[in-house]
Amino acid sequence: MKTIFRLLLLFFLPLMLASCGDKKESAQSCSIQLDEQKYSKVSENENCTNYERASAYLGRAGMSFANFLKTGATDNLTKTLGISKLSSPTDYTTGNRGFVTDALCLVGANAFVTSSRCNGSSRTRSTDELEISMFANIADFIYLNYGVLDNDSNGTLSDTEVEGFTKLQTGGISVDGLGTGLAAYNDNYEVVIGDNHFIANSDLSKCSPYTGESNGRYTDNASHNTTCAAKAIEIGISITDLRPIFKLDNMTDITAGGTLNTLVSMVSELSMISTALSSDFDSVGISSENSVRKQLTLGLGKLDNGAKDNNPTANAACSAVILFDVMFLLVKNAADNSTTVSELKSGNLINTADLINAVDKSLVDKLLPVDASDAMKALPMKSARIVYAKDSPATTYTDSYEEAWSGENSLYEAMNNTRRLGTDDSVKGDGKVTFRELICVAEN
């Protein structure tokens, strides 16, 4: 996080000085005042340009090179930027974050300008404005993180501060199958042969085409008396994937019911800022390969960590994410009521390696029936399919998690709450921060 400010200085300084060269008479007085650090005056003067006013608001927020030139300035960002404790991630006005909001509402991405934060209208921005917007995004990013997470305002995010914030209900959850209750569904399989999908019984002696209609759904048993081997010969290619079908009756709500609103809004705010920053970089022509951008985003690496522990070894497993992944991997790819018959072929799947390594180790012996033939054992198996209980105790099943049994402590609630924390992949250095990455901040 500190590196970013050293670079910021190098980057911000020439921009601020460039403002001295403005041609217009009226603009000149604004830019001179800006150089004289008369930030309050410039920010409130509607005759100054948006670029000048936003720069001045950032100056008021402590984002000025003069402020950062002070000895030790980057050692305690909370102090240097005067970051006050925010009441929530969507607290846009407390302390100096109010000035960052003012700057973003003048020159920020339309996502900010048209949101309830600004209540403005979409506009096209000049390159000058985009440049200031980049710094406003970075400032907002830092205010958000330290304002929400740095409980004792000492400028350092400790393990306890981050863990305290991302606290999940992990009691009764383990990678040995505690908290999830997955079991074989009638010992049924999905058999994929190229683009053709079938529902099969345990020895693949029955193979019915998946149609999504009555008797051709993943929740139905195979009824056709043709073997899958015969189907493969008929189609002319080998079986490409053998997918065991598992039923999910219950699931522990790792989010502990409705206590996750702050987490959800934190992830949503982080994502909005990082998306805006990345798009500003692109708009001013600073490509993702540019060294300045790389350095700046490297500074954000503590957050944009790929849900890995990168300290001291890059890409090591992040231990904090292990129990969350038990549930996350299970619900990540869940199909809902709007999933089409065709989309369902790739919905509700979980990679078998993830299933037995990260969700439920006890399933390692349940992927194939105990009396599986050698031919069946030799088939490729990349994924498993999940179907959801529609009632409790379970009697019927569905492909849509939105049709899973609902109500208090229900399967639907547990799935829906977990999915609200985001279902995107966590990629290191992609400029976006997912919830899984947030959990791993303390390990980076």
Smaller CB distance to Ca ion: residue 298 or 427? 427
Smaller CB distance to Ca ion: residue 391 or 424? 424
| 187 touches Ca ion (CB under 5 A) | no
| 154 touches Ca ion (CB under 5 A) | yes
Burial readout 348-380 (b: 16 or more C-beta within 10 A, e: otherwise): bbbebebbbebbbeebeebbbeeebeeebeebe
Query: By three-state DSSP, how is residue 190 classified?
Result: strand
Smaller CB distance to Ca ion: residue 154 or 315? 154
- What values do phi and psi take at 188, rounded to 5? -85, 160
| 436 touches Ca ion (CB under 5 A) | no
In the complex, the smallest distance separating the C-beta of residue 154 from Ca ion, rounded to whole angstroms, is 4
Place of tokens 């899973």: 404
Left (φ > 0), alpha (ψ -120 to 50) or beta: where does 172 sit? left
414 contacts 330 by C-beta, under 8 angstroms: no
149 contacts 165 by C-beta, under 8 angstroms: yes
User: For residue 339, what are its two tokens?
Assistant: 């999933």
- Interface with Ca ion: number of residues (CB under 5 A): 8
Give the one residue of 152, 391, 424, 425 binding Ca ion; rule: CB under 5 A: 152
| 160 touches Ca ion (CB under 5 A) | no
257-286: contacts with Ca ion (CB under 5 A): none
* Binding map of Ca ion across residues 304-343, x = CB under 5 A, - = no contact: x---------------------------------------
Left (φ > 0), alpha (ψ -120 to 50) or beta: where does 186 sit? left
Smaller CB distance to Ca ion: residue 304 or 413? 304
Smaller CB distance to Ca ion: residue 152 or 343? 152
Smaller CB distance to Ca ion: residue 179 or 422? 422
Quick one: the chain helix, strand, coil %, rounded to 5? Answer: 45, 10, 45
Give the one residue of 432, 438, 440, 441 binding Ca ion; rule: CB under 5 A: 432
Smaller CB distance to Ca ion: residue 145 or 352? 145
- What values do phi and psi take at 308, rounded to 5? -120, 160
Interacting stretch for Ca ion, rule CB under 5 A, among 96-104, 155-163, 276-284, 291-299? 155-163
Interacting stretch for Ca ion, rule CB under 5 A, among 2-10, 62-70, 301-309, 409-417? 301-309
Pairwise CA distance, residues 413 & 339, whole Å:
19
Q: Which residues bind Ca ion (CB under 5 A)?
A: 150, 152, 154, 156, 304, 427, 430, 432
